[in-house]
């Protein structure tokens, strides 16, 4: 054997080994065993795996996907320790490819083969696809320190799109105030489960939480306390815009609520002229409802409402202004109806759509008004008769401030105890007879905060009920089943723990994870 031949015989296997070590090792994996909430519409497995590597990039087909790509990078980088550079162009092996494509609103497809993960859809669809991809990776991906990996995803195809176009949560920042960072975390948590609206309750008897430049005492005086007498607080308009932008990057639309004509004590305390007797009220730190009302007979009231809605519209790119309208027990009905009619005109004059609690259906609804059903089905139906759509927030199922059971340390129970199974086992389209899916805009899960004081409290009430409500809004009802869902939910425990989410470890769920770390 000559020397050349020997060289080749040695050289080839060495190159071969080197080459093989650079390739993604494809380990058999089954995508249909993926544990995703909300359940995707369709999952097909091809039995192999993709592995994220130190050399992987996040490749975008279009510059408009930059912020989604950076959010994805922000999730993957700390735990993998990889740089996962964001680049525009054509992907190579090992890359994640985000591809802008026209199609159904918010729909996406994830195609995973051994060489590449491609997420295709419209811009929101790609963002939701990214949220699905997070859940296809091991829970350790959510850690904020470098973890060992490997970072494998099963191969196959997921195609997915939402059932309802409006999937939201309401956070009451009036009863207790929550600062910008808390609201950003709330946006992170809801958008992880593909909720796309955040309704903020910005005013109530106990506090006014948004700066209104033409009526400055609303925030400085009306926002100075909260339930229990604590310090309170408010968002400057700059803070609010920061939240709107942060939400928009996550395809979450903010809906600001100014509750009226009732639930207005904070405003009535800030400006004497808003009261019929011309006397300013004291600030209120209790939790009763139904005692306050704007003076519906005074012109100044409508100048006030106009100023507030004008300023709010300027910092609200979303379509809706929520005018409250609930529990106005101190406003006679013959005053309530003309008031709501006039306020609706103000909202539409600023090119916004009206959203209000179900009581507003007693008034003459303007075109495109949406009635938020929380209490009375007859109100929801009155809305539909007037051509309105209904946003479903039945208190007995969706109220995140209800106690789980009689031993829950936080929450109220006027609408009943809402265990995790109770909040999941229902369907918006069959909840109210005579209300069909076509009448329903979507679903919203509110968190009132009379008893909720900290971010830990928020998380305890929201987890694990919110992911189930998100699934009700996203996944077709015939694909949902509590017995199957509870297993999927139980498998999220480790993710909650790694993300330091303070969740309620409900006995209705077969939890799988590390031993409980915090209560
Ligand atoms: C009813 S729901 C309210 C809120 C309370 C909540 C407490 C609704 C439109 N009004 O003012 O915070 O109950 O669960």
- Per the domain annotation, does 149 fall within a domain? yes
CB 383 within 8 A of CB 366: no
- Give the tokens for residue 510: 């077969």
Give yes or no: residues 50 and 144 share one domain: yes
**Predicted local confidence at residue 5, as pLDDT:** 55
- Give me ligand 1 centre to Cα 426, in Å: 21
Give yes or no: residues 45 and 119 share one domain: yes
Point out the ligand 1 atom lying closest to the alpha carbon of residue 287: 12
**Predicted local confidence at residue 21, as pLDDT:** 46
Helix (H, G, I), strand (E, B) or coil at 389: strand
- Give me ligand 1 centre to Cα 292, in Å: 14
- Per the domain annotation, does 382 fall within a domain? yes
Question: Of all helices (H) and strands (E), which one includes residue 64?
Answer: none
Helices and strands (H, E) in the chain, number of each type: 17, 17
Point out the ligand 1 atom lying closest to the alpha carbon of residue 402: 14
Phi and psi, residue 169, nearest 5°? -135, 150
- Per the domain annotation, does 515 fall within a domain? no
- Give me ligand 1 centre to Cα 341, in Å: 22
Give yes or no: residues 470 and 348 share one domain: yes
- Give the tokens for residue 130: 């990214």
**206, burial (CB in 10 Å: exposed 0-12, middle 13-18, buried 19+):** buried
The question of whether 327 is a catalytic residue gets the answer yes
Give the separation between CA 501 and CA 181, rounded to whole angstroms. 15
- Give the tokens for residue 473: 């809004």
- Give the tokens for residue 13: 């296997």
Give the separation between CA 421 and CA 85, rounded to whole angstroms. 42
Which listed residue (311, 327, 459, 471) is catalytic?
327
Closest residue by Cα to atom 8, ligand 1, is 326
The residue from 98, 130, 160 where one domain ends is 160
Give the separation between CA 146 and CA 430, rounded to whole angstroms. 47
Residues 6+ away with beta carbon under 8 Å from 309: 258, 321, 343, 346, 347, 350, 352
The separation between CA 465 and the C-alpha centre of its own chain, rounded to angstroms, equals 12
Residues 6+ away with beta carbon under 8 Å from 316: 244, 254, 256, 352
- Give me ligand 1 centre to Cα 448, in Å: 7
Helices (H), 261-390: 265-270, 299-314, 333-349, 377-385
| Residue-range definition of the domain harbouring residue 477 | 166-486
Give yes or no: residues 136 and 173 share one domain: no
Give yes or no: residues 304 and 424 share one domain: yes
Give yes or no: residues 321 and 299 share one domain: yes
- CATH number, domain of 275, equals 3.20.20.80
Helices (H), 23-159: 66-80, 123-136
Give yes or no: residues 110 and 181 share one domain: no
Q: Model confidence over 72-93: pLDDT tens digits?
A: 999 999 999 999 999 999 999 9
Instruction: Specify the number of domains making up the chain.
Output: 2
Q: Does the pTM of the predicted model rise above 0.85? A: yes
Give yes or no: residues 104 and 175 share one domain: no
The residue from 110, 135, 160 where one domain ends is 160
Give the separation between CA 36 and CA 133, rounded to whole angstroms. 9
- Per the domain annotation, does 444 fall within a domain? yes
Tens-of-pLDDT digits for all 519 residues of the chain? 454 555 555 555 554 444 444 455 689 999 999 999 999 999 999 999 999 999 999 999 999 999 999 999 999 999 999 999 999 999 999 999 999 999 999 999 999 999 999 999 999 999 999 999 999 999 999 999 999 999 999 999 999 999 999 999 999 999 999 999 999 999 999 999 999 999 999 999 999 999 999 999 999 999 999 999 999 999 999 999 999 999 999 999 999 999 999 999 999 999 999 999 999 999 999 999 999 999 999 999 999 999 999 999 999 999 999 999 999 999 999 999 999 999 999 999 999 999 999 999 999 999 999 999 999 999 999 999 999 999 999 999 999 999 999 999 999 999 999 999 999 999 999 999 999 999 999 999 999 999 999 999 999 999 999 999 999 999 999 999 999 999 999 999 999 999 999 999 999 999 997 765 444
Point out the ligand 1 atom lying closest to the alpha carbon of residue 204: 11
> Looking at residue 63, what DSSP letter applies?
G
Closest residue by Cα to atom 2, ligand 1, is 374
CB 464 within 8 A of CB 504: yes
Closest residue by Cα to atom 4, ligand 1, is 448
- Per the domain annotation, does 100 fall within a domain? yes
- Give me ligand 1 centre to Cα 357, in Å: 10
Give yes or no: residues 113 and 244 share one domain: no
Question: Of all helices (H) and strands (E), which one includes residue 97?
Answer: strand 96-100
Give yes or no: residues 197 and 140 share one domain: no
Give yes or no: residues 68 and 136 share one domain: yes
Give yes or no: residues 52 and 179 share one domain: no
Nearest C-alpha neighbor of 173 from the set 202, 197, 198:
202
- Give the tokens for residue 29: 């994996």
Closest residue by Cα to atom 10, ligand 1, is 326
Residues with CB under 6 A from ligand 1: 289, 326-327, 357, 374, 399, 401, 412, 448, 450
- CATH number, domain of 48, equals 3.30.379.10
> Looking at residue 133, what DSSP letter applies?
H
CB 175 within 8 A of CB 204: yes
**Predicted local confidence at residue 20, as pLDDT:** 46
- Per the domain annotation, does 18 fall within a domain? no
The residue from 97, 130, 160 where one domain ends is 160
- Per the domain annotation, does 75 fall within a domain? yes
Q: Which of 289, 358, 380, 414 to mutate to test the pocket of ligand 1 (most atoms within 8 A of CB)?
A: 289
- Per the domain annotation, does 103 fall within a domain? yes
CB 123 within 8 A of CB 171: no
């Amino acid at each position: 054997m000559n020397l050349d031949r020997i060289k080749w015989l040695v050289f080839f296997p060495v190159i071969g080994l080197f080459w093989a070590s650079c390739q993604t090792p494809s380990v058999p994996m089954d995508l249909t065993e993926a544990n995703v909430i909300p359940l995707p519409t369709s999952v097909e497995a091809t039995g192999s795996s993709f592995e994220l590597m130190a050399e992987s990039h996040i490749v975008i087909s279009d510059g408009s996907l930059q912020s989604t790509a950076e959010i994805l990078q922000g999730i993957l980088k700390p735990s993998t320790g990889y740089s996962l550079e964001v680049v525009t162009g054509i992907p190579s092996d090992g890359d994640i490819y985000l591809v802008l494509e026209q199609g159904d609103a918010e729909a996406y497809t994830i195609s995973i083969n051994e060489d590449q993960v491609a997420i295709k859809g419209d811009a929101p669809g790609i963002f939701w696809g990214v949220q699905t991809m997070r859940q296809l990776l091991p829970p350790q991906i959510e850690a904020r320190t470098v973890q060992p990996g490997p970072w494998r995803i099963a191969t196959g195809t997921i195609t997915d799109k939402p059932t309802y176009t409006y999937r939201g949560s309401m956070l009451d920042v009036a009863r207790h105030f929550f600062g910008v960072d808390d609201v950003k975390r709330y946006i992170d948590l809801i958008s992880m489960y593909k909720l796309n609206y955040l309704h903020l309750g910005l005013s109530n008897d106990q506090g006014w939480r948004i700066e209104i430049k033409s009526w400055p005492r609303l925030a400085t005086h009306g926002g100075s306390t909260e339930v229990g007498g604590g310090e309170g607080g408010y968002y400057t308009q700059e803070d609010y815009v920061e939240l709107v932008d942060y939400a928009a990057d996550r395809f979450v639309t903010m809906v600001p609520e100014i509750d009226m004509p009732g639930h207005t004590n904070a405003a009535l305390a800030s400006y004497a002229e808003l009261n019929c007797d011309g006397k300013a009220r004291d600030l209120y730190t209790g939790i009763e409802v139904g005692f306050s009302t704007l003076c519906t007979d005074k012109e100044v009231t409508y100048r006030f409402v106009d100023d507030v809605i004008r300023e709010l519209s300027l910092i609200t790119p979303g379509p809706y202004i929520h005018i409250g309208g609930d529990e106005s027990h101190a406003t006679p009905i013959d005053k309530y109806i003309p008031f709501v009619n006039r306020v609706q005109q103000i909202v539409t004059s600023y090119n916004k759509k009206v959203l209000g609690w179900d009581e507003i259906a007693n008034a003459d609804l303007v075109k495109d008004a949406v009635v938020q059903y929380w209490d009375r089905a007859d109100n929801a139906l009155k809305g539909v008769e007037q051509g309105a759509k209904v946003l479903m927030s039945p208190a007995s199922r969706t109220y995140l401030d209800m106690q789980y059971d009689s031993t829950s340390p936080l929450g109220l129970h006027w609408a009943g105890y809402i265990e995790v199974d109770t909040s999941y086992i229902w369907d918006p389209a069959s909840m109210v007879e005579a209300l069909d899916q076509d009448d329903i805009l979507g679903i919203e899960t509110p968190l009132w905060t009379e008893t909720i004081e900290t971010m830990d409290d928020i998380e305890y009430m929201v987890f694990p009920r919110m992911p189930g409500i998100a699934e009700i809004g996203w996944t077709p009802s015939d694909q949902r089943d509590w017995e199957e869902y509870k297993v999927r939910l139980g498998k999220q425990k480790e993710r909650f723990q790694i993300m330091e989410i303070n969740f309620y470890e409900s006995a209705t769920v077969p939890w799988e994870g590390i031993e409980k770390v915090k209560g």
